[in-house]
Chain A
């Protein structure tokens, strides 16, 4: 994985000292909160419902063991013993003291981490496929391209004050595991018929109060022009994106209002101009980055079988593991969704353990997934049982990847100052209610947001839940039919909302409709798409 050079380290170290001085000036009263707020947000420090919250960047979700251990140490040293992995592959701490924040950033810098690009109207942390470098179906490892985007976008002077925040995702397989088309820019690295690598650009997607699926504006940009094309996309947005209304300021609104064709025409014109400016990083830099993402020293000729004699282990293998490109290896997902647990939360001890297990079993590598789980990407099949035993003993062995218990949930009104309703208790109740039937139900992606900002990705859930404030009382809308894969679709609201307990009943009824109508190997989503909303609505509102 990527290693900082002296420039990277110097930039991050300087940023820590700059922020230390800003905090000192705030505490001593030399600057007001209005002056300080944008500065702390540029360093990932929010003021949330109960305390300051620090969001730490995990570029494209990739971590090494030392970084993971540091995240666990920070949870214990500066927070209340836990962290929350987010839907953008980052981690948040909920109980941070302002006076500690510079020390935390200094600790992070010792392991090449920071909180830059986790807030503000800049290009945020770029996300990617959690199985990058391991998946059998990828064209090429997308992370070097995500790293190139990180280097281009960090402190980019032209894009530090965009009309709104800007999120990019990079994948390199036809199966989209990063919700790529629901980003401001989604890039799919592709190989054309001539064998050349390029980037397909999808622009103008997003969730929030106006969900939109990004259209493809260019199916093949030569890879040595990817940054230039990205710059063109951003320039048109920066020039014409609305700054008078924050609810209409995202690029999706611009693309929608201009129309895909006109937006694309303007991007292509800007692109042609930029090509004359030679702004693309040299290919040697991409090659330097790619060398750091070379495959780990996989053993060859090793056993490609897993001993499945322990039924609980066999269930976990079948549910949580993905085929690896290298024979004898597997990618294992550690679910942070124990039955009745808080989605995405892990204790400091658990975080350190996952780091240690990565060192022992996965070439020192971990990934954070946008579904709030952790992946050990390169595990020898022969080691899998020993790994699972340690995970299971630590409460990390739940077998529910992509099942109804594997719920994405934002922090909701329990932690977030923007939320209108709590998300976590609903997730806990659904998880408990359907725990016994989730294997029979099969793949069912359930996503819960506590407000219209959609951090819980409810638009993209096979079942989505949106919490709203109805005259001071929590109320929950149910959506069906969303999907974030290659066949991305947006969920449709079933009808009137429900109480906290009512939404749990409604979800259970929806699963029963599915089981009663399922044909063959259909997933919940397949059945919904075949039979439509009506049978679900009839059962839910009977």
Chain B
């Protein structure tokens, strides 16, 4: 599947296109098929996202997983600071990242 990611313009936070808006959670990312360029142009022009791009991902029973390690680390947070990730209370949250 192809999903979209970028950063929030004001905060810089990593966001994912969920079909209607930009979410902090990669689990909510949706397959954009062939519409990536259209959505990216529209959303960036409206300043709802910054520096956005399309990536390959897979979806299985555990959720949406970006294909490349760089985007998996973006999805959760730095592997060396679990306290600063999106799920600091879950010790297993990062198992799928590396």
Contacts and interface: CB of A to CB of B under 8 A. Distances in A.
B78 interface: yes
B28 to A, nearest CB: 18
Contacts of B50: 33, 47
Contacts of A50: 12-14, 74, 77-78
Nearest to B11: A97
Contacts of B1: none
Interface in B1-19: 7, 9-14
B10 A80 contact: no
B51 A47 contact: yes
Interface string B4-47: 00010111111000000000000000000000000000001001
B78 to A, nearest CB: 4
A220 B74 CA distance: 50
A95 B13 CA distance: 9
Given A33-B44, A33-B51, A51 B11 contact: yes
Contacts of A425: 79-80
A33 B13 CA distance: 16
A428 interface: yes
A27 B9 contact: yes
A49 B74 contact: yes
Interface string A48-86: 011110000000000000000000000000001000000
A520 interface: no
B87 interface: no
A179 interface: no
Nearest to A48: B12
B73 A414 contact: yes
Contacts of B78: 50, 414-415, 424
B10 A428 contact: no
A194 interface: no
Contacts of A51: 7, 11-14
Interface string B60-98: 000000011110011001111100100000000000001
B80 A52 contact: no
A463 interface: no
Nearest to B74: A49
A417 B51 CA distance: 12
A49 B70 contact: yes
A29 interface: yes
A99 B10 contact: yes
Contacts of A97: 10-12
A419 B14 CA distance: 17
A95 B78 CA distance: 11
Contact of B12 (A27, A98, A424, A474): A98
Interface residues of A, number: 29
B79 A422 contact: yes
Given A49-B74, A80-B84, A413 B7 contact: no
Contacts of B68: 472
Contacts of A414: 73, 78-81
A108 interface: no
Given A47-B7, A472-B68, A472-B69, A52 B12 contact: yes
Contacts of B14: 49-51
B94 to A, nearest CB: 11
Contacts of B77: 50
Given A49-B74, A80-B84, A27 B10 contact: yes
B95 to A, nearest CB: 15
A49 B97 CA distance: 14
A142 B30 CA distance: 57
A521 B1 CA distance: 60
Given A50-B78, A425-B79, A98 B9 contact: yes
Contacts of B11: 51, 97-99
A46 to B, nearest CB: 10
A116 interface: no
A342 interface: yes
Contacts of A95: 12, 84
Nearest to A33: B50
Interface in A264-278: none
A468 to B, nearest CB: 12
Contacts of A33: 44, 50-51
A163 B40 CA distance: 31
Nearest to A469: B69
A50 to B, nearest CB: 6
A271 to B, nearest CB: 43
A96 interface: yes
Counting chain A CB atoms within 10 Å of each CB, the highest count among B9, B78, B81 belongs to: B78
Contacts of B80: 342, 414, 422, 424-425, 428
B88 to A, nearest CB: 11
Nearest to B84: A80
Interface string A243-269: 000000000000000000000000000
B69 A474 contact: yes
A474 B98 CA distance: 9
A483 to B, nearest CB: 28
A80 B84 CA distance: 8
Interface of A: 26-27, 29, 33, 47, 49-52, 80, 95-99, 342, 413-415, 417, 419, 422, 424-425, 428, 469, 472-474
8 contacts: A27-B47, A33-B44, A47-B12, A51-B14, A97-B11, A99-B11, A419-B70, A422-B80
Interface of B: 7, 9-14, 44, 47, 50-51, 67-70, 73-74, 77-81, 84, 98
Closest 6 CB pairs of A and B: A51-B12, A414-B78, A52-B12, A424-B80, A97-B11, A99-B10
Given A27-B10, A33-B50, A47-B12, 6 more contacts: A50-B14, A51-B13, A80-B84, A414-B79, A417-B70, A425-B79
